[in-house]
Amino acid sequence: MNKTLDDVNVAGQRVLLRADLNVPLRDGKVTDATRLERLLPTIRELSDKGAKVIVLSHFDRPEGKVVPELSLKPIADSLGRILGKPVAFAASCVGPEAENAVASLNNGDVLVLENTRFHAGEEKNDPAFAAALAKLGDIFVNDAFSAAHRAHASTEGVARHMPSFAGRLMQAELHALEKALGNPQRPVAAIVAGSKVSTKLELLNNLVTKVDILVIGGAMANTFLAAQGHNVGRSLQEADLHGTALEIIKTAAAKGCEIFLPLDVVVAEKFEADAPTHVVKIDAIPPGAMALDVGPATVDAFISRLPEIKTIIWNGPLGAFETKPFDASTNTLAQAIAQATKDGKVISVGGGGDTVSALKLAGVHHDLTYLSSAGGAFLEWMEGKVLPGVEVLSKGFSNLG
Ligand code: ADP
Ligand code: MG
């Protein structure tokens, strides 16, 4: 297990805190502060305990060059407002500017350093750049689970230089993932949907070996249905992956994982808002139609299974949820899972960029046991991969070399 803030005395220490300040920004204003809000417990705890809090983060993709529009300054200001106390800013994350800003901190102060990706050494995990970062702190705390799938200087390299700990957000994320898939209460059902099998191949392959029921929805279900010989009309599907889909079904059978495919789908001739729709059984998709959502009988059938399920993992919207009415099944299922969670009957963990948007639109994003704010890192963890930024925390810093 990783060490946490319970294992260290931070009073008077310079704490390098890797955070994920990569929030949506429009005209210099933060449009969704969820990621900042989730950091508050760690920042407040460190500050209250008398640490000098030095926040490191990337922002967007400046590709190793200084791009003024991608400065973290407006985000540091926004963080200060949410935190309710001044947040200092240094216009570079290494060198004299950063060192002077750190030197002028009092215990409890918070400082944000400029975008780590303004330096090419960040994404290359350059040891010299990691050492320059490490010079600024006494201990390292990583609260950026969402960046932990990348071995960059500020997520991995720097941790080799000093005692390193998981922050509260990182800790919560790892705890939730462990409850969902590492050591879950069974039976476990995974809902995997979205647009493409190809982007979720490793996810499907890992989950069939670990979960008891795998529900496949979204356009990726079309690929499975077509592979089984159903005519899916003009639906989005990947014809070159039929063999792969059949293999996944075979592996699932061998591992005792039940594959739950749609029984019916919502079809339309046109993919546009409020297009006329029909519900058809999967063996009756008209040749000119597109399946844009799973059907109500499918959702009902899965909801009727909820009482037997103890843990649910959800990645991927069941339909083309951005366009009404193809959000209907996602909404119905989201509400049923939220209710079962509130009733204490199931542990539910969701994640993925579009999944989070869809669950927000369904109004249930506060009602799951845990909704991961990490996209890629959540998926890689679910794929069974080791995340370098997590791995390095448990290895400790004796492996400097
Ligand atoms: P996440 O970002 O949560 O991992 P994905 O990116 O895999 O999810 O999938 C989300 C996308 O899948 C959405 O843009 C949604 O419109 C699309 N999608 C889901 N079902 C269908 C469908 N039947 N036809 C076309 N697109 C679909
Ligand atoms: Mg997506």
d(CA 114, CA 89) in angstroms, rounded, equals 7
Ligand 1 atom showing the smallest separation from residue 320 Cα: 16
DSSP 287-312: TT-EEEEE-HHHHHHHHTTGGG-SEE
Average pLDDT of the chain?
95
Of the chain, the percentage scoring pLDDT greater than 90 comes to: 94
Which helix (H) or strand (E) segment is 215 a member of? strand 213-216
Q: List all residues 6 or more positions away from 390 whose beta carbon is below 8 Å from its beta carbon.
A: 2, 145, 148, 166, 170, 174
pLDDT in tens, 75-102: 999 999 999 999 999 999 999 999 999 9
Token readout for 170 is 């990182």
The catalytic residue among 64, 80, 353, 384 is 353
d(CA 338, CA 74) in angstroms, rounded, equals 35
| CATH topology assigned to domain 184-382 | Rossmann fold (3.40.50)
CB < 8 Å & 24+ apart, contacts of 122-128: 122/58, 122/64, 122/152, 122/153, 122/154, 123/64, 123/150, 123/152, 124/153, 125/151, 125/152, 125/153, 125/156, 125/157, 126/153, 126/157, 127/157
Ligand 1 binding pocket includes 322 (Cβ within 6 Å): yes
SS percent in the chain: helix, strand, coil, step 5: 45, 15, 40
Beta bridge mates, 88: 111
Q: Probe ligand 1: pick from 149, 195, 293, 327, max atoms within 8 Å of CB?
A: 195
Considering only residues 394 and 108, tell me which one the structure prediction assigns the higher pLDDT: 108
Residue with the two structure tokens 């947040």: 87
Token readout for 319 is 């339909």
Please give the biggest Cα pair distance in the chain.
Answer: 71
The catalytic residue among 196, 210, 345, 360 is 196
Banded model confidence at residue 395, pLDDT cuts 50, 70, 90: confident
- Give the per-residue pLDDT at 34: 87
The domain locations on the chain are 5-167, 184-382
- Give the per-residue pLDDT at 400: 43
d(CA 235, CA 218) in angstroms, rounded, equals 10
d(CA 256, CA 376) in angstroms, rounded, equals 28
What is the number of alpha carbons within 13 Å of residue 346 lying toward its C-beta? 27
pLDDT in tens, 264-289: 999 999 999 999 999 999 999 999 99
The whole-number average pLDDT for the span 355-372 is 95
pLDDT in tens, 132-165: 999 999 999 999 999 999 999 999 999 999 999 9
- Please tell me the residue having the least CA distance from ligand 1 atom 15: 320
Q: Quick check: 396 pLDDT over 80?
A: no
Per the annotation, the verdict on 35 as an active-site residue is yes
Cis preceding-peptide flag for 24 (omega within 30 of 0): no
- Please tell me the residue having the least CA distance from ligand 1 atom 7: 194
d(CA 335, CA 275) in angstroms, rounded, equals 24
Is there a contact between 46 and 141 (Cβ–Cβ < 8 Å)?
yes
Q: Quick check: 399 pLDDT over 50?
A: no
Least confident range of 43-47, 122-126, 285-289, 370-374:
370-374
Packed helices 242-255 and 218-227: angle between N→C axes, nearest 10 degrees: 90
| CATH topology assigned to domain 5-167 | Rossmann fold (3.40.50)
d(CA 111, CA 21) in angstroms, rounded, equals 13
- Give the per-residue pLDDT at 2: 81
Identical fold at 5-167 and 184-382? yes
Q: Quick check: 174 pLDDT over 70?
A: yes
Token readout for 383 is 């794929």
Ligand 1 binding pocket includes 316 (Cβ within 6 Å): yes
Among 47, 38, 139, 115, smallest CA distance to 82 is for 38
pLDDT in tens, 288-327: 999 999 999 999 999 999 999 999 999 999 999 999 999 9
The whole-number average pLDDT for the span 346-355 is 95
